[in-house]
Amino acid sequence: MAKANQVKSTKEKIISTIFTLIVIVLFLCVLFPFVMIILNSFKAKIDIIKDPLSLSPTKGFSFQNFIDAFVGMHYLRAFGNSLFVTGFATLITITFSSMLAYYLVRYKNPFTTFMSNWIVASMIIPFQALMIPLVSIYGAKFGILNSRITLVLMHVGFSMALGTFIYQGFIKSNIPKALEEAALIDGASQYGIFFKIVFPLLGPTTATLIILNVLAFWNDYLLPTLVLSKKELLTLPLTTYTFYGTYSANYGVIMAALVLTVLPILILYFVLQRKIIDGVVSGAVK
């Protein structure tokens, strides 16, 4: 008996070592690109061209690339634009989609059933099927492109379906109607009931949606590039793209620009890791 156990445990040990090895190898594959970019962002152009892997470049390491990239890509301005667009779009999406979901769950009539179905169905429409009409309507007809507000409101429209869908599921199964009825008897207004009683209870879902939306808005390229063309309005991904076009031969500066672009989101991830991972999972599984 004791021997059998021993055999089993050595076998288990070998298996677990193999598992660990697989995980470590894959993990190094994920890490490698980041290491390369960071390493080379501190090097001079000739050293990168000579040997991107070298750990002892002839010209040494310096922060010069970061200074050049920071100034050249108007980092603060682009960062500010991204912050403006992401912040307002997330705030408005959360407010409007929770209100819409609340209505669709609490008021059952033919119209709400119809709208609920459309909202779910619309999620399989690829963005490519909407972008041309979008430019045609809001660019050629109304001429309201090239404005950060337009971009914010378009983000809101596009994220309404997912937000409403996720909130609907949560309200249906987690928010008792009795609570609202009691408040109604106490004479609370309809907005009062929603914002003071219902909305605070939606906390976990709100956190999930904030995370999903912030990541999507912050990193989006295609919609912003269709809406914004004025230099002063460009968000970080757009600036990175144009900056690359002008400096493409100057690898060091480009690497520094890439590091600067990813840095804010990585810092955020470092602080909110658990929340972000939970948010992404519950957003997908629902």
196-215 residues near another protein, rule: CB under 8 A: 215
Residue 221: HSE in the Cβ half-sphere, 13 Å Cα cutoff: 6
Report in angstroms the alpha-carbon separations of 22 from 26, 27, 35, 203: 6, 8, 20, 38
Q: Which amino acid is at 234?
A: L
CB 218 within 8 A of CB 82: yes
Query: Of these, 6, 11, 14, 51, which contacts another protein (CB under 8 A)?
Result: 51
Q: Which of 36, 67, 120, 149 is the binder for another protein (CB under 8 A)?
A: 36
Kindly tell me which of 63 and 127 has the beta carbon lying closer to another protein: 127
Binding-residue total with another protein (CB under 8 A): 90
Euclidean distance between CA atoms 77 and 50, whole angstroms: 34
Complex with another protein: residue 63 or 241, whichever CB lies closer: 241
Work out which of 1, 29, 178, 185 binds another protein, going by CB under 8 A: 29
Q: How is residue 72 written in tokens?
A: 């050249």
Residue of the chain from 83, 84, 219, 247 that contacts another protein (CB under 8 A): 219
Cα 115 to Cα 100, 105, 172, 272: the distances in Å are 10, 11, 16, 35
Between 14 and 49, whose beta carbon lies closer to another protein? 49
Among 13, 179, 222, 230, binds another protein (CB under 8 A): 222
Here the tokens at position 20 are 């660990």
For residue 29, the minimal CB distance to another protein (Å) is: 7
**197 vs 265 by CB, closer to another protein:** 265
Task: Show contacts with another protein in window 123-162 (CB under 8 A).
Answer: 124-137, 140-141, 153-154, 156-158, 160-161
CA distance 62 to 59: 9
Contact between 114 and another protein per CB under 8 A: no
| 91, 175, 197, 265: residue in contact with another protein (rule CB under 8 A) | 265
Positive/negative CA dihedral, 166, 167, 168, 174: positive
273 binds another protein (CB under 8 A): yes
Given 78, 165, 194, 250, the residue binding another protein (CB under 8 A): 194
CB of 95 vs another protein, minimal distance in Å: 8
According to the binding rule CB under 8 A, does residue 184 interact with another protein? no
The residue (of 19 and 63) whose beta carbon lies closer to another protein is 19
Per-position x/- string for 70-109, each x denoting binding to another protein as judged by CB under 8 A, each - no binding: --------------------------xx-xx-xxx-xx-x
Query: In terms of Cα–Cα distance, which of 103, 116, 83 is closest to 218?
Result: 83
For residue 53, what are the CA distances in angstroms to 24, 57, 152, 251, 257? 21, 9, 42, 14, 19
What separation in angstroms does the CA of 59 have from each of 44, 47, 132, 166? 7, 7, 49, 54
Closer Cβ to another protein, 246 or 273, answer by number: 273
